[in-house]
Chain A
């Protein structure tokens, strides 16, 4: 590809979100066990502080990856209780500011909803409407 083509592609690219580049081959050093590693952080999925710290050393560098790797924040409360704690633990382990980590994804529905309710087609005023 010519330099001109590269420039054109650069200018043509439009993305709303631009993450910071991260070279993951730079090591974090060895995992060092800590006395509070067995503290429960995500109560829904029973994930401890040590689990999260170890996951970072396994290469899970973002909130999204740790969530998918350990299920932290994927339980019934959908991370409403533990997300801030997880963020702080990850940031400390990675040596970055908590704000530098990716924002957690909020997904519909806001509260767990039964299939029969979510799938209800009745219009307001119908037999099942309240």
Chain B
């Protein structure tokens, strides 16, 4: 059978110290960190464009508050040590802003939820507390009278995910990483018990180490060597307004989780949210937006920030989350398949921790002691209930 797509295209293929599958922010950050360690790297990407999955479709949160206790150390490390200097390090402005996260409440029940989050944060050393109605107003005078309190994490923030992903890519490429896009990766093949070959539509790529950072696609690829990661796709949506006058620098979220967002360096507001029908929205594949979702997000936003009612929506989009069965990612080598490292199932909050994850995955690949403990993210932590 002839594949018309590859007909006439010379076989690509090749060898490198490490083959990374997936050119999202995690794959690009991993490639960059491997290149810093002097490793030769090939990155393979199914899409025509770099970072065209969740990496360029998320809300840009660089958030520690509200994280699972297992993930919190990664977020705190990234915020303290990596994000502040990332623009300088990568030679491109990633628009990182560290002006705090307000999680808003409108009811007593909301405030209880927020108190719980703040308590968990504090127990793990995160500076996080509750704000009174007046204190919230002082920080953000644009909020509606319905808001009666908020949790506040002053060291949270946001960045531009599009620019960050491409900045990791550009820097990695400048350091000699070879990127091949538009290739279907079919599976991993072992040689003498070690992961060694990545079989693609255009040829075989061989490496001493193989990293799977392909989002949802990782499940199919890991299965080719008998490993399963329990995750599923969830299609969620976001929107952006035209540029507005500078209003507030904090990242906003709500106890109800009905929307989240911030004002970007460009002046536009980026908001994410949902309609409640997400379970069925992605049934036909692709990345469609549903006509019902953006209006629902708008209604939620206007209840909290009435001033934005006149802001014009210029674009809406959707993206797939690789939602892990237990809500935190898999960042792990694989006992049964030496040479294989997994970095997937980021569950919609991978962007904020991507700079440290890139380093951790590179360290795992190179057999170094990891900067942070990653045992909570092992691939074999999942247990059936009987």
Say yes or no: A18-B166 contact (C-beta < 8 A), given A9-B224, A64-B52: no
- Expressed in whole angstroms, the minimum distance between the Cβ of B44 and any Cβ of chain A is 10
Contact B224 A22 (CB under 8 A): no
Contact A76 B298 (CB under 8 A): no
* Of A5, A13, A58, A62, the contact of B49 (CB 8 Å cutoff): A62
The stretch that binds A, out of B124-132, B288-296, B373-381, is B288-296
Does B12 touch A at the CB level, under 8 Å? Answer: yes
Contact B289 A107 (CB under 8 A): yes
Interface string of A66-77 (1 = CB under 8 A from B): 001101001010
Does A114 touch B at the CB level, under 8 Å? Answer: yes
Contact B56 A68 (CB under 8 A): yes
Chain A residues near B295: list those with CB within 8 A. 118-121
Closest to A15 in B: B184
| Interface class of chain B by DSSP | mixed
Chain B residues near A68: list those with CB within 8 A. 51, 56, 162-163, 166
* Of A10, A24, A62, A113, the contact of B186 (CB 8 Å cutoff): A10
- Expressed in whole angstroms, the minimum distance between the Cβ of A97 and any Cβ of chain B is 15
Task: Please measure, in the bound complex, the distance between the C-alpha atom of A20 and the C-alpha atom of B5, giving whole angstroms.
Answer: 7
Say yes or no: A78-B314 contact (C-beta < 8 A), given A22-B181, A65-B166, A118-B298: yes
Task: Please measure, in the bound complex, the distance between the C-alpha atom of A25 and the C-alpha atom of B298, giving whole angstroms.
Answer: 43
**Number of residues of chain A lying within 8 A (CB) of chain B:** 42
Contact B313 A115 (CB under 8 A): yes
Say yes or no: A1-B180 contact (C-beta < 8 A), given A64-B49, A115-B298, A115-B308: no
User: Max chain A CB contacts within 10 Å: which of B182, B302, B308, B311?
Assistant: B182
Does A86 touch B at the CB level, under 8 Å? Answer: no
Does A130 touch B at the CB level, under 8 Å? Answer: no
Does A95 touch B at the CB level, under 8 Å? Answer: no
Q: Which of A99-130 contact B (CB under 8 A)?
A: 102, 107-109, 112-116, 118-121
Contact B189 A20 (CB under 8 A): no
Closest to B201 in A: A21
Say yes or no: A65-B49 contact (C-beta < 8 A), given A107-B289, A107-B317: yes
Task: Please measure, in the bound complex, the distance between the C-alpha atom of A58 and the C-alpha atom of B172, giving whole angstroms.
Answer: 11
Interface residues on B, range: 35 or more
Chain B residues near A10: list those with CB within 8 A. 184, 186, 201
Contact B166 A107 (CB under 8 A): no
* Of A21, A59, A61, A78, the contact of B202 (CB 8 Å cutoff): A21
Task: Please measure, in the bound complex, the distance between the C-alpha atom of A116 and the C-alpha atom of B302, giving whole angstroms.
Answer: 8
Contact A116 B310 (CB under 8 A): yes
Q: Which of B286-343 contact A (CB under 8 A)?
A: 286, 289, 291, 294-296, 298-299, 301-302, 308-317
* Of A18, A69, A114, the contact of B310 (CB 8 Å cutoff): A114
Task: Please measure, in the bound complex, the distance between the C-alpha atom of A16 and the C-alpha atom of B317, giving whole angstroms.
Answer: 19
Chain B residues near A107: list those with CB within 8 A. 289, 315-317
On B, residues with C-beta under 8 Å from A are 5-6, 9, 12, 47-52, 56, 162-163, 166, 169-170, 173, 178-184, 186-190, 199, 201-202, 220, 224-225, 241-242, 266, 285-286, 289, 291, 294-296, 298-299, 301-302, 308-317
The 3 A-B residue pairs whose C-beta atoms are closest, nearest first, are A119-B298, A19-B48, A112-B312
Further contacts, 8 of them, CB under 8 A, given A21-B12, A22-B181: A1-B190, A10-B186, A16-B286, A24-B180, A25-B180, A64-B49, A116-B310, A118-B295
